Amino acid sequence: MRVVSGLRKPLPPLTAAEQPPRPAGTAARQATVRGREGRRLYAIDGIRLLAALMVAVHHYAGTYRVNQPNNAIWDRPTSDIMPSVFRFAAYGWIGVEIFFVISGFVICMSCWGRTPRQFFVSRVIRLYPAYWFAIVFTTGVLVAVPGVWERLRLREVLFNFTMLQSGSRVSNVDGVYWTLWSELRFYLLFLLVVATGLTYRKVVVFCCAWGAAAMLAPVSDFPLLVLVANPDGAWYFIAGLALYLMHRFGQDLLLWGILGMAWLMGQLELGHRIDTVEHVSGWRGSVLIFTVFLLVMVAIAVGLTDRIRWKWLVTAGALTYPFYLLHYVAGTTLINRLRDTMDARLLVVTVIAGFLVLSWLVHRFVERPLARMLKKGLDTSFARLRNAGNTA
């Protein structure tokens, strides 16, 4: 599951094609919007880590599995062990939907003005280094501590390094990797827009076309359309794209309409998730959390959080992706082995803190150096391809 945000170079003036239609009298508002561009959105970094923590607490204390008698993680239902934590943790799965919305926002922001080559390189160096480490680490934990989770065969573990296992019906080393398959399909679709040059009009058309495809896919009886349109996650990404357009160009009725449609489709999808994935939370509470989150994202988009510039949020955002990849299988395995050594709530907090420290180490000593190496190698390869094309 990967999402990036960071400081960007000052953007060039908008071209005529980029400019959305605007009524007269909005020059001052447009100047304010342009003044926000290029600033780091610290609040998004904080929300990303909060979403990851929600997912982790859910996996440790709020899933259907951990609330069954004699399950493989705890020795009795978590609703008996820590009932107050369980009631909160039951809703933590919504962190995934939050990730998808933020991904739509940040991907649109980070690749505006970039070429398809730059977009491809940025995704590779962002997604793969921590992911490769997570596969090795999680597999090592399963070898060292058997009996909690079933370990995949070696050929399946190796295939996981491609990140394409879900498209080949190969199991994930860690169940949380399923979100990466949704992300990859989003990137592939959005690459088509990036290749033509991002503008307000093109992104709006993309949102409408993708949304229509996502609505038609479930009743089409056409597996390829379902695969490409990704109806389970499409409207969350679309919400993020609309929010970024609000941030870059200002609000208008069309963007509010897209966001409203994303909310309506999203609340229905939340209900489907609750009905089909054995979540122990309720629909009303899930929709309330999702709605509050969207309102916070609107506040970020229109600049109400611009004064939040706490430097520690940068670190928080950097920890999110490795923490998400590492926490589930390895974390629940540790809980299983340590559950009799301390209070359950203290154990959950301790495991989360340990994985946050590990995530910082992965970011500092794996992600950053390996990303630099990959970028240098890919830039050299693309330069060679370009030179070969010029001399052919």
Per-residue pLDDT of 69-94, as tens digits, reads 888 899 999 999 999 999 999 999 99
- φ, ψ at 364 (rounded to 5°): -75, -40
What is the domain range of residue 212?
36-376
pLDDT of residue 70: 80
Percent of the chain past pLDDT 90, that is, above it, reads 84
Examine residue 20 and state whether it is found in any structural domain, yes or no: no
Residue 139 has pLDDT above 90, yes or no: yes
Average pLDDT over residues 156-165: 97
* pTM of this structure: 0.90
pLDDT of residue 81: 95
Least confident of 19-23, 64-68, 95-99, 281-285: 19-23
Tokens of 10: 């000052």
pLDDT of residue 22: 52
More confident residue, 27 or 176: 176
Average pLDDT over residues 141-170: 95
Examine residue 42 and state whether it is found in any structural domain, yes or no: yes
pLDDT of residue 3: 43
Please list, residue by residue across 282-314, b when 16 or more beta carbons sit within 10 angstroms of its beta carbon and e when fewer do.
ebeebbebbeebbebbbebbbbebeeeeeeebb
pLDDT of residue 10: 46
Examine residue 119 and state whether it is found in any structural domain, yes or no: yes
Is 157 in contact with 173 (CB distance < 8 Å)?
A: yes
Tokens of 369: 């150096």
Examine residue 57 and state whether it is found in any structural domain, yes or no: yes
Please list, residue by residue across 28-52, b when 16 or more beta carbons sit within 10 angstroms of its beta carbon and e when fewer do.
eeeeebeeeeeebbbbbbbbbbebb
pLDDT (tens digit, 9 = 90+) per residue, 195-242? 999 999 999 999 999 999 999 999 998 999 999 999 999 999 999 999
Distances (CA, A) of 127 to 133, 328, 330, 348: 11, 18, 20, 27
Residue 154 has pLDDT above 70, yes or no: yes
Is 356 in contact with 320 (CB distance < 8 Å)?
A: no
Distances (CA, A) of 122 to 281, 375, 385: 36, 8, 18
Report how far residue 336's alpha carbon sits from residue 70's, in angstroms, rounded to the nearest whole number.
11
Examine residue 281 and state whether it is found in any structural domain, yes or no: yes
Q: In the predicted model, what is the mean pLDDT of the chain?
A: 91
pLDDT of residue 72: 85
More confident residue, 22 or 157: 157
pLDDT of residue 389: 65
Distances (CA, A) of 271 to 101, 112, 172, 274, 281: 17, 34, 25, 5, 10
Torsion of CA 250, 256, 257, 263, to 10 degrees: 140
pLDDT (tens digit, 9 = 90+) per residue, 260-305? 999 999 999 999 999 988 788 999 999 999 999 999 999 999 999 9
pLDDT of residue 18: 54
Domain total for the chain?
Answer: 1
Sign of CA dihedral 110, 114, 120, 122: negative
pLDDT (tens digit, 9 = 90+) per residue, 307-326? 999 999 999 999 999 999 99
Average pLDDT over residues 118-131: 96
* DSSP for residue 342: S
Examine residue 107 and state whether it is found in any structural domain, yes or no: yes
For residue 54, the number of C-alpha atoms closer than 13 Å in the C-beta half-sphere is 21
Examine residue 350 and state whether it is found in any structural domain, yes or no: yes
User: How does residue 388 score in pLDDT terms, banded at 50, 70 and 90?
Assistant: confident
pLDDT of residue 392: 56
pLDDT of residue 32: 47
Examine residue 254 and state whether it is found in any structural domain, yes or no: yes
